[in-house]
Structure 1
Amino acid sequence: MRQVVSLFLPTWPTDRLRRRLGRSAPPPDAPLILAGMEGQRRVVTAANAAARTIGLDAGMAVTQARALLPDLIIIDAEPQADREGLERLAVWSLRRYAPIIAVDPPDGLMLDITGAAHAYGGVMGLLKDMAQRLAEVETTGRAVCAPAYGAAHALARYGTEPLRVIDPLDLEQAIADLPLGALRLDRAIVSALSQLGLETIADLEAMPRASLALRFGSGPGLRLDQVYGRVSEPFEPVLPPEAIEVERHFAEPIGAPETLARYTHKLVDALCQQLEEAGVGARRLDLRFHRVDNRIEAIRAGLSKPGRDPKQMGRLLCDRIETVDPGFGVEKMALCAPQTEPLGLRTISHLGETPRADVAALVDILGNRVGEERLYRIAARESDIPERSVIRIAPMADPTLLRWPEHWPRPARLFKRPQPIDTLALLPDHPPVHFVWRGIRRKVKRADGPERIYGEWHVSEEEWLSVRDYFLLEDETGTRYWVFRQGDGMDSATGSQGWFLHGLFA
């Protein structure tokens, strides 16, 4: 099933302008419009959210807008800079989200995320990550994923939900009540159709196709087919300006998986040669299959560290060829490395030293199967509080210099939240005699402790006074537990004096 996302940026020109002006930008709540020439008229080309709330929108004459609000802030539009900004956003999204991305001027992007959403826990996870990162740079965004780009485009601009995933079975119902303006038709055609009593997409779909084409041409019928996914939309994906790419054209279309795999390895060999000449290694690979029906299928593979091993790269790509639908045949294949990094030299010793195991190949295979975001390594972080002393880092990240204390052991499994237990212990510093956890009473055979850990003073005044006394306990079955008492056992200001289980030892 194809998954296409339309990213709509309703206030992109004004958001981009605010980022460019920085501290000299007008206040966010001040009405702001951008003005440009349309023939002999000076019209509004974009308006921020504050201006839209009072009825100012694109297409309105500037004189009319100024009459409605004399204190209106008016700045000349920069359409070329807006387009270049969209292209930069598309290149950034290409490296992060999907192998096929195209600019949809003047206020959006098109992303084909088929097979790429698993890295974010699903399509909705990808949309939320996209919206969150746009919000961090003060940019408003709406994103809709649908089986057809025409539907995604329409719902992103005329739908009610800012983030939405459309199931193929719900596509017809989702777009039925949208206005005709959502079909990307000329205003004159929309106006003429409205005079005939046609207001929604469902109304237009119910019309006889022959009479519709006779009066209005092929445009309305084509837009209907695109919004329902009956025909595909050709588009030109963006490429980073520094991307290294190789491609191969075929005199006759190919489609057999074995043939696609054979030419994939040939493209990998050619790409690795160019990577070597450039002195870089690939961190991400995008393999695109251009079908004879103008549709593009793509495969994305990531590497945990820069590399140009043709065997490993070919294996990563061929593992996912079965997900490619060649249709009536593939007439062109293109392999691109949109993300590269300098590749350093590796010293090989012949002095009998034990070679260090390289797990990068295993990390690459797992990352492309379950998602790169789901693979991580635990490292130490400077903090006395146990749950704050660990951090997730990339599997192949450089080792950190921090280490956990060696004089007190730490459990292999640390709970995200300490779990309360019922126990019996002599105060103030004796270990528990027994404790009840998850409804089971466990008798303590051996114990070590306490290890006192104080709260971090810079977090809050309450934490500065808090105390934890940790004990390492072993029950009759040999299972070892890491428990603590909240407080010093005497002063209630140091904690609730309750007992908690915080981790399990291997």
Structure 2
Amino acid sequence: MTRVVSIFFPDLATDRIRRADPSIPLDQAIAVIAKSGSRRWVSAADDAARRAGVTPGMPAAKAQAIFRDLKLVDADPVGDQLALKRIALWALSIYSPVVAVDGNDGIVMNTEGADHLQGGEQKMLSRVASQFKAKGLNARVAIADTWGAAHACARSIRRETVIVGRGELFHAVARLPVALLRLAPKIVADLGTLGFRTIGELSATARAPLALRFGPEVGRRLDQMFGRISEPIEPIREADRIDVSRAFAEPIAAAETINKYVGRLIQQLIGELQRRGLGARKIDLIVEKTDGTLQAIRAGTAKPARDEAWLTKLFKDRTEKIEPGFGIEKLTLIAVVTEPLQEQQKTSSLVEEAAADIAPLIDILGNRGQRVYRIAPVASDVPERSVRRIAHAGDDIRGTWDGHWRRPIRLLHQPDEIKALSLMPDYPPRSITWRGRQHNVRKADGPERVFGEWWTCESELEAVRDYYVVENEMGERYWIFRSGDGVDPETGDRKWFMHGIFG
């Protein structure tokens, strides 16, 4: 069953201003001012401005009078819409083959069959919200069975994410305001005059009087929200996209037939890629069914590819997930992400030297939902900052870690607090208790002192960690540290933490 994710950007206009000018202080309140003739009003305000009492729709002069240090910026709706389109295109290459712009403040995407690639719906939504936050965009993310329900829930929540379970649409939207039905403002105002406040109240009303007064739009939006009629998402596409398609006079449904035409489309796509000197990194297969619904399948490669046999195999392994329903009327193959790929001359020799290529294995694992990546060193003395994830098939890693000190083979993502019995300041613990288990320390080595990086985090100006390698009676070795030098309180709170496990 289709699952739809709606991503709402409540502060898109002000977030875009901050991204364009990083020098603006984080505590600086910003309001966007729209103009119409001589009238000037607030069209958007960030969180700091709203806390000061500035609200959208307020006259600009009143807003400036309320908050003297308010930064006023002229509205740029064209720029906001272009930014939203860029966001949608980025999401298309990262999250789902079916992504579209949703109004002036959000995007929508069909994630059917894609949530398992992200570790489930909750992890997927959390990752989406976190990635947009890292890019300086405040986002509210909701998932539901329909576009209408996801759209309404994303714009009504105060937390970052919400999941509407399958079959729970009515309970999720019944108390939401009618304005979230995506109706024209005039219709919403008239419905309010008639006393309709919530979607539940409106859905319980007879359709005939509503259709007589407002036309079919109210009923259509209600049916779309509750899944009675389909609402296809028309995917956004780059202007210079590379795609090939095949429409059928008679719908197809058999797996053999689907695979046959997918293979022919791959041949056509490879020909177009070859003419442009490109290789595909991500390819989407869009399946358009006779009932108006879409199903999408994505295949990715570790490096640019246009090998017909390999791409055909990648899709053949996944076309079994296609549910043709009453039949398929069109297949479209789109190269979403491409990179330059030039022909290479093969050298001939008496002895063939087979180069190890793990790209096919990475392709198989990646398309099955496994996240494949490599670890690269980073110039940092703080252990959790000394590594970073990089692409699985990128350039060779040139840097290395400093090998003067032993490091555990497993480093915890975040240090885990433990209880320790020790003599301060320079002695290792005699025993530690980690996750309810006590370890008597038989051998220990240390301390290794690590200083904070004040240029990265101002609060680390005087921070210190003393690391020890400890071994218990079972021969298990752990990497632990004390926060602070054990003497000066400014260097740390003297708590002990587990940070790594040796083999």
Question: What range describes the TM-score normalised by the shorter chain of this pair?
Answer: 0.7 to 0.9
Shift of residue 85 of structure 1?
2.1
Paired with 1:97 and 1:165, the residues of 2 have a C-alpha distance of 17
Give deviations 1:99-141, integer Å, cap 9, x for gaps: 1111123222121122223343333333333333433444332
Q: What's the CA shift for 1:455?
A: 2.5
Deviation by residue 1:251-301 (Cα, 9 ceiling, x = unmatched)? 111122222222112211211221122112111111111122322211112
Give 1:400's aligned residue.
397
Q: Counterparts in 2 of 1:88-487, with a 5 A limit?
A: 88-344=86-342, 346=344, 348-349=346-347, 350=349, 352=351, 354-371=353-370, 374-382=371-379, 389-403=386-400, 412-414=409-411, 417=415, 453-456=448-451, 458=453, 468=467, 470=469, 481=477
Output the amino acid matched with 1:243: R
C-alpha separation between the residues in 2 aligned to 1:270 and 1:344? Answer: 18
Contact 2:303–2:393 (CA under 8 A) maintained in structure 1: yes
Distance 2:497 2:39 in 1: 72
- Long gaps (5+) in structure 1: none
CA distance in 1, matches of 2:359, 2:323: 30
| Counterpart residue number, 1:5 | 5
Indicate how the Cα distance of structure 1 residues 139 and 435 shifts in structure 2: closer, same or farther if over 3 A, else same: closer
Distance across 1 between alignment mates of 2:169 and 2:136:
31
**Range that drifts further, 335-344 or 182-191:** 182-191
CA distance in 2, matches of 1:482, 1:162: 37
Matched residues in 2 for 1:408 and 1:196: separation? Answer: 75
Q: 1:146 to 1:351 in 2, by over 3 A?
A: same
Deviations 1:392-422 (A, max 9, x none): 4333233323345778876544555589799
Q: In structure 2, how many angstroms separate the alpha carbons of the residues matched to 1:268 and 1:306?
A: 15
Kindly name which structure, 1 or 2, has the bigger radius of gyration based on alpha carbons.
1
Q: State the distance in 2 between where 1:22 and 1:452 align.
A: 41
Indicate the SS of the match to 2:155.
Answer: helix
What SS is found at the alignment partner of 2:310? helix
Question: Do the aligned partners of residues 109 and 353 (structure 1) sit closer, same or farther apart at CA in structure 2, a change above 3 Å counting?
Answer: same
Aligned-residue offset at 1:91: 1.0
Q: How many residues align?
A: 484
Letter in 1 for 2:329: E
SS state at 2:239 partner: coil
Distance 2:427 2:177 in 1: 72
SS at 2:168 equivalent: helix
Residue 165 of structure 1: how far off its partner (Å): 1.3
> Do the aligned partners of residues 43 and 415 (structure 1) sit closer, same or farther apart at CA in structure 2, a change above 3 Å counting?
closer
Give the SS at the match of 1:336.
strand
Residues 57/347 of structure 1: CA separation in 2 closer, same or farther (3 Å cut): same
Q: CA deviation at 1:34?
A: 1.9
2-structure distance, mates of 1:142, 1:162: 5
1-structure distance, mates of 2:472, 2:72: 73
CA distance in 1 between counterparts of 2:183 and 2:432 reads: 71
8 Å contact from structure 2 (residues 152, 180) kept in 1: yes
Does the aligned pair in 2 maintain the 1:451–1:470 contact within 8 Å?
yes
CA distance in structure 2 between the partners assigned to 1:94 and 1:66 by the alignment:
37
Greater Cα offset, 274-283 or 210-219? 210-219
More off after superposition, 223-232 vs 405-414? 405-414
Tell me, what secondary structure is at the counterpart of 2:367? helix
Match of 2:84 in 1: 86
Residue in structure 2 matched with residue 29 of structure 1 by the alignment: 29
After superposition, the Cα gap between the structure-2 partners of 1:42 and 1:249, relative to the gap in structure 1 and judged at 3 Å, is farther
Do the aligned residues in 2 keep the contact of 1:31 with 1:73 (CA within 8 Å)? yes
Superimposed CA distance per residue, residues 428-448 of structure 1 (whole angstroms, 9 cap, x where no aligned partner):
999x9x99999699998xx9x
Relative to structure 1, is the Cα distance of residues 415 and 6 closer, same or farther in structure 2, using a 3 angstrom cutoff?
A: closer
Name the CA distance, whole Å, in 1 between partners of 2:396 and 2:468.
31
The AA in structure 1 aligned to 2:303 is K
Distance 1:304 1:222, change over 3 A: same
- Mapped partners of 1:356, 1:252: distance in 2: 47
Distance 2:204 2:300 in 1: 46
Which amino acid is 1:401 matched to?
Answer: R
The amino acid across from 2:198 in the alignment is: T
Normalized against structure 2, the TM-score is what? 0.80
CA deviation after TM superposition for structure 1 residue 363, in Å: 0.9
Q: Equivalents in 1 of 2:51, 2:482: separation in Å?
A: 54
Seq. identity, %: 36
State the shift of 1:303 in Å: 1.5
CA 246–415 in structure 1, closer or farther in 2 if over 3 Å, else same: same
User: Within the alignment, does 1:57 sit opposite 2:52 as a pair?
Assistant: no
CA separation in 2, counterparts of 1:70 and 1:389?
Answer: 46
Change (3 A) 1:197 1:28: same
The answer as to whether partners of 1:11 and 1:46 remain within 8 angstroms in 2 is no
Return the letter of the residue paired with 2:450.
Answer: G
Q: Unaligned stretches of 5+ in structure 2?
A: 455-459
Question: Structure 1 residues 421 and 245 mapped into 2: Cα distance closer, same or farther (>3 Å)?
Answer: same
Instruction: Letter of the 1:68 partner, please give it.
Output: K
Q: Is the 8 A contact 2:41 2:60 kept in 1?
A: no
Distance 2:260 2:42 in 1: 51
Secondary structure of the residue aligned to 1:221 is helix
What RMSD, in angstroms, separates the aligned Cα atoms of the two structures? Answer: 4.3
Report the AA paired with residue 360 of structure 2.
Answer: A
Structure 1 residue 172: Cα displacement: 0.5
Asked if residue 68 in structure 1 is aligned to residue 62 in structure 2, the reply is yes
TM-superposed CA distance for 1:33, in Å, is: 2.2
Whether the aligned pair in 2 keeps the contact of 1:381 and 1:388 (CA below 8 Å) is yes
Moved more, 136-145 or 198-207: 136-145
Deviation at 1:143, TM superposition (A): 2.0
Taking a change above 3 Å as real, the CA distance of residues 499 and 24 of structure 1, as seen in their structure-2 partners, is closer
Q: Which amino acid aligns with 1:185?
A: L
